[in-house]
Structure 1
């Protein structure tokens, strides 16, 4: 199978050639540094057949830069962000395509909202601001969200939050502003949780409501997040702001997006506080997120 030439594969192949090291010797040096990797994987990386995506592979690239005498981040910065894989740390609205449909519907029935998916249009998500905290070990400690809704029907008094925590324990939900936590149901088989956020007051057609809540994971150690955080939007959102705050800033960060018509990515610069942000305007349906390595 022919590889697809990328900036990463070109730089890696050139660096290996300059080093004078064989792939076998590179593999041995990586293993001596506690990085188990096959010669086949190294060959695929330099030919463009594969690219490092998982956290273990990104760690291998960091050590590979040292073995080849490169500056920290010289190869990592050339990598595109990982493809979304139904990340366990994702937070999404009901009906997101990666949720098992039957399991999700059963969960909605248990929480007393069997028709939630058909009734989403009654409450439009106008604006969303996520702030994700990444601990020093690279795992997710907490996520705080501020959402602005506009009602398209009278007497809207709650928002149903559904999130996927995979095999980890469900994060603790705390209502921070203009809402309170209602019923919570957990599906341990599929790692799904559904929770009601009850508005402090019902809103009618045309009215807006701002709520704020946080999801906090137990730890340390905190659940791994595969070096990425993203939202999937079933319907367009006017504005989405995503902030990632790092206890230990990574070498490089990327913004990425996927819709039915296009994919996009660009590198992001860390700010003076060790954080990074990205903004999507009039976005969706689709996926929007930030990756780091």
Structure 2
């Protein structure tokens, strides 16, 4: 097996490995040049990245990759564009079939649904289809996620639909649960928290029951405690298990980043990227039309 075909390899690892070899620099010299830029990275981490054993995920690691592109004389984004989106931090978790959960143990989710009084939510998730989804993420001064406000229009595929079950991933056991505030056409019902796995399940009760073909618009905010605020790893995205007609994503920054881009992946298609420019208020937005299944998000440096 050649170096470029080793088990667990990735495009990021292959390009990083070949770029380091082409530069003629040892990992110690790469580390020294990064440190001169104020970016401390261990030789062990660099070795793991180029071997494919691990990939950069934390905000500090993503910044190190951007500096690596400069050290290795690569184009901006040449390495960053090969990294898949990190595990969601603070994005509402999609309700998936039991065999398709990737963000946390399925047994933890099932136990949480039982506690919130919705043990059959996974089987019933098709009864409300999201038609339009609008997320607005507020990034705090420390780079963490201050809050997310979501506005969603649902269409019922069965009669007597009166609630939406929200499952929220805090971003790990160390991050505390957010404060849920119902803003429009709904109220917060039962809420249960799994501190071990960093999960919250909450009912959003509609102000009226809707029947097949009818729609309902709700709006709510998930606010995190801080500072420090939970780390969002310089990205925010949603994974859509079914098509959505419109998804609008806004990111509002306390401190404007140097670079922003939107990205999307659908099925086995290669990732699509497009650079974004900050608006006059220090934020960016991206929109997806008739999208999914797939992942759509925004990243920044």
| TM superposition score normalised by structure 1 | 0.83
Match of 2:63 in 1: 59
Q: 2-side partners of 1:283 and 1:236: how far apart? A: 5
Task: Measure the CA separation in 2 of the matches of 1:170 and 1:50.
Answer: 28
1:86 corresponds to: 87
Matched, 1:233 2:237: no
Check whether the contact 1:31–1:37 (CA below 8 A) recurs between aligned residues: no
Structure 1 counterpart SS, 2:122:
coil
- Counterpart of 1:274? 282
Moved more, 264-273 or 31-40: 31-40
Partner residue, 2:298: 290
Which deviates further from its counterpart, 55-64 or 278-287? 55-64
Is 2:49–2:56's contact at 8 Å kept on the other side of the alignment? no
Contact 1:91–1:230 (8 Å) recurs in 2: no
Deviation at 1:111, TM superposition (A): 1.0
Correspondence 1:2 to 2:10: no
Q: CA deviation at 1:223?
A: 0.6
> Which deviates the most, 88-97 or 176-185?
88-97
How far has the Cα of 1:9 moved from its partner? 5.4
Equivalent position to 1:132, from 137, 141, 144: 137
- The 8 Å contact of residues 12 and 79 in structure 2, kept in 1 or not, is answered as no
Shift of 1:158: 0.7
2:266 aligned residue (254, 259, 264): 259
- The C-alpha deviation readout for 1:186-228, integer Å capped at 9, x for no partner, is 1122111100001111111111111000000000110111111
Task: Tell me the TM-score normalised to structure 2 length.
Answer: 0.81
Moved beyond 4 Å, runs of 4+: 3-6, 8-17, 42-45, 47-53, 61-68
- 1:205 aligns to what SS in structure 2? coil
Q: Determine the structure 2 residue equivalent to 1:164.
A: 169
Matches within 5 A, 1:59-78: 59-61=63-65, 75-76=76-77
Q: Distance in 1 between matches of 2:184 and 2:45?
A: 52
Q: For structure 1, which segment, 35-44 or 229-238, has the greater mean C-alpha deviation from structure 2 after superposition?
A: 35-44
Q: Distance in 2 between matches of 1:192 and 1:109?
A: 13
What is the number of residues matched between the two proteins? Answer: 286
Please say if residues 86 and 235 of structure 2, whose CA atoms lie closer than 8 Å, have aligned partners that are also in contact: no
Q: Distance in 2 between matches of 1:148 and 1:63?
A: 41
Q: 3-state SS of the aligned residue for 2:176? A: coil
In 1, the alpha carbon distance for the partners of 2:57 and 2:86 equals 11
Distance between the aligned counterparts of 1:83 and 1:217, measured in 2? 25
Q: Cα RMSD (Å) of the superposition? A: 3.3
Matches of 1:121 and 1:212 in 2, distance apart? 20
8 Å contact 1:179–1:212 — kept in the other structure? yes
Partners of 2:219 and 2:186 in 1: how far apart? 7
Aligned counterpart, 2:35? 31
1:85, CA displacement in angstroms? 4.0
Question: Unaligned regions of 5+ residues in structure 2, if any?
Answer: 6-10
Tell me, in whole angstroms, the C-alpha distance in 1 between the residues paired with 2:268 and 2:67. Answer: 37
| Pair 1:208–1:52, CA change in 2 (3 A) | same
